Amino acid sequence: MKCEKCGNEQDGGKFCGKCGTSLMADQSIANPAQETVMHPAAEGPVSSTQVQQNEYIEKAKKTGKGYWAYLKTYIKSPSAIFSKGENEFVNGLISLLLFSFMLALVAYVFIQSISRSMFGGYGDAFMNEYAGPTFISVFGGSMIYAVLSLLLAAVSLFVVTKLFGEGHSFKSIISYYGSHMLPGLFLMAAAFIFILIQAYAFGTIILTIAISFTVFILPLYLISSLLTKQSKSADPLYGFISYVILFSIAFSLFSFLLADSAVGSFIDDFGSYL
């Protein structure tokens, strides 16, 4: 095997042992066995497992750069996404997950701070000083709640556009939703900063605005835009009303079930300190 860049010849491997250039383009058949190769960033031989890990890192970097470009594009003109369809599905999904992650993080920091300020000083009254709810119970529960809430909105948009509009694929709905969600991400970041510095009043207000905008207001804008641009024989107003009813019922049932479980878990966690 000969490196096209420096002319070095070697028996095998994915990278040139002299200059580190990838030789994958020259390989017609991949070797499934564990092999030793020279990686550009390494001074000595590395295993194929390490090479795979480096490839994953490179993919993550590429995804991060792509998402940054996506942010700069759609924060200026969110409506430009309507001409892209499914093309921004991955970035839209990242926005959904990032918003959910940030909401869960804000919820944990806020609840932990409030719990410690209210109960942390009563060490004499409890067998163990109450340190607040666990990370898993708050962060995990909040993350699941946020993801499912956003998915409920996306599914409701998908169903109503199928019934009253020309229809859009679920990937397209995620693309539209994700690109319009970007202001909510910045609001959530601001809420986190205020709560982190214990400015709870400002943090709570911004957090409420971020959640209200992303989960409730934004889908109403999207359904109005999609049905107005592409509607069937039924008037878009009835599609709008159908979305409100469908999402309200689904979200209410989901919130009731999850809230009941969360309250029970919190009471059990708090009771263990008595």
Give pLDDT tens digits for 192-215: 999 988 888 999 999 999 999 999
Residues 88 and 220 in one domain: yes
Distance CA 202, CA 196 (A): 11
Phi-psi region of 267 (alpha: psi -120 to 50; beta: other; left: phi over 0): alpha
Question: For residues 241 and 249, what is the distance between their CA atoms, to the nearest angstrom?
Answer: 12
Instruction: Indicate if 20 and 133 belong to the same structural domain.
Output: no
- pTM recorded for the entire structure: 0.71
| 72 and 92, same domain (yes or no) | no
Which of 50-59, 95-104, 110-119, 140-149 shows the lowest per-residue confidence on average (mean pLDDT)?
110-119
Q: What is the pLDDT of residue 74?
A: 93
Taking residues 77-103, report their average pLDDT. Answer: 92
Q: Which range of residues forms the domain containing residue 54?
A: 1-76
Report the alpha-carbon distance of residue 12 to residue 30 in Å, rounded: 10
pLDDT at 159: 93
Final residue of a domain: which of 76, 107, 124? 76
Of 76, 105, 129, the one marking the end of a domain is 76
Total structural domains in the chain?
A: 2
Lowest mean pLDDT among 85-89, 185-189, 248-252, 256-260: 256-260
Q: Can you tell me which residue has the tokens 């996506």?
A: 70
Encode pLDDT of 121-180 as tens digits. Answer: 444 444 455 555 677 878 888 899 899 999 999 999 999 998 888 778 999 999 999 999
Query: Residue 72 CB: number of other CB atoms within 10 A?
Result: 10
Q: What rounded mean pLDDT belongs to the chain?
A: 80
pLDDT tens, residue by residue, 235-248 = 888 889 999 999 99
- 112 lies in the same domain as 44: no
**What pLDDT is attached to residue 247?**
93
Return the pLDDT at 230. Answer: 63
- Judge if 162 and 212 occupy the same domain: yes
Residue, of 98 and 117, whose pLDDT is higher: 98
**Co-location of 52 and 147 in the same domain:** no
User: Do residue 109 and residue 72 come from a single domain?
Assistant: no
